[in-house]
């Protein structure tokens, strides 16, 4: 059953990537409703529109699909920087927790990994989640493999992603009526991304140490096996 779940996940991931790559322009137009801030999100009740975007964003995160930043832009575009940031952060957390549970159950348990002490990684996760370039599924898979607690994982994901999401939603709120994504690359946006990237580098120190300890544990286990 675990093998079937893994294959199904990979199949959805591959299909999703192919669809996103093929229809990227159409997806962008759909999320921003062809330039009309009162488009599809304004044509349905507020709660229904927000819930629809929330669900689509959470599924995108769960299946590690690429349009994540587009969803952040859409949240800011339709719901403003404050409400958009909160909803987007909750959607990202929901999708990440679902993926975390999947990875934790799908990755084969290892006695060697159990001997590696990950310690308190809450601050580390906060730093990693603020990064605009460290892939979300890589962080989630790492946490699932090394048995990070689900509560610190969820809290760190929700709080840690907010600064990055806020940059997107603040920028997107300026696009109402003229959704030209090139306007997102203003000097202040570039500066914000640069600062978040620099801060997130500090978060890599502990995962690198954990991985090195894991490799040493593998070597020790291999050396203990009689020839």
pLDDT level of residue 224 (50, 70, 90 thresholds)? low
Find where tokens 């959470």 sit: 58
pLDDT recorded at residue 25: 66
Which tokens hold the place of 4? Answer: 């079937």
Instruction: Give me the phi and psi of 160, to 5 degrees please.
Output: -70, -30
pLDDT level of residue 52 (50, 70, 90 thresholds)? confident
**Long-range own/partner contacts, residues 6-14 (CB < 8 A, 24 or more apart):** 6/106, 9/63, 9/102, 9/106, 12/63, 13/63, 13/64, 13/65
For the segment 84-143, what is each residue's pLDDT rounded down to a tens digit? 999 999 999 999 999 998 888 877 766 666 666 666 788 888 888 988 888 888 888 888
Neighbours of 28 (CB within 10 A): 16
pLDDT level of residue 55 (50, 70, 90 thresholds)? very high
**Do 201 and 134 form a contact (C-beta atoms < 8 A)?**
no
For the segment 60-79, what is each residue's pLDDT rounded down to a tens digit? 899 888 777 888 988 888 88
Which tokens hold the place of 9? Answer: 């996940």
For the segment 135-178, what is each residue's pLDDT rounded down to a tens digit? 888 888 888 877 788 998 999 999 999 999 999 888 887 776 55
pLDDT recorded at residue 158: 94
pLDDT recorded at residue 42: 57
| Model confidence at 12: pLDDT above 60 | yes
Residues 6+ apart with CB under 8 A from 211: none
Rounded to an integer, what distance in angstroms lies between the CA atom of residue 141 and that of residue 107? 9
Rounded to an integer, what distance in angstroms lies between the CA atom of residue 187 and that of residue 162? 20
**Do 116 and 210 form a contact (C-beta atoms < 8 A)?**
yes
For the segment 14-51, what is each residue's pLDDT rounded down to a tens digit? 777 677 667 666 666 666 664 455 555 555 667 787 88
Neighbours of 168 (CB within 10 A): 28
């Amino acid at each position: 059953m675990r093998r079937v779940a893994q294959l199904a996940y990979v199949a959805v991931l591959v299909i999703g990537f192919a669809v996103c790559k093929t229809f990227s322009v159409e997806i962008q137009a759909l999320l921003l409703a062809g330039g009309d801030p009162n488009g599809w999100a304004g044509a349905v009740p507020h709660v229904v529109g927000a819930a629809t975007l929330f669900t689509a964003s959470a599924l995108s995160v769960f299946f590690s699909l690429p349009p994540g930043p587009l969803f952040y832009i859409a949240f800011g575009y339709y719901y403003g920087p404050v409400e958009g940031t909160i909803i987007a952060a909750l959607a990202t957390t929901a999708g990440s927790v679902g993926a975390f549970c999947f990875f934790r159950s799908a990755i084969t348990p290892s006695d060697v990994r159990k001997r590696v002490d990950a310690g308190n990684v809450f601050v580390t996760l906060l730093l990693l989640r603020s990064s605009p370039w460290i892939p979300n599924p890589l962080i989630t898979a790492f946490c699932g493999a090394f048995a990070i607690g689900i509560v610190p994982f969820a809290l760190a994901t929700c709080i840690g992603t907010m600064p990055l999401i806020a940059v997107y939603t603040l920028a997107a709120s300026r696009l109402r009526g003229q959704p030209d994504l090139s306007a997102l690359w203003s000097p202040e946006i570039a500066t914000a991304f640069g600062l978040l990237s620099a801060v997130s580098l500090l978060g890599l120190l502990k995962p690198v140490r954990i991985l090195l300890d894991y490799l040493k544990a593998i070597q020790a286990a291999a050396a203990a096996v009689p020839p």
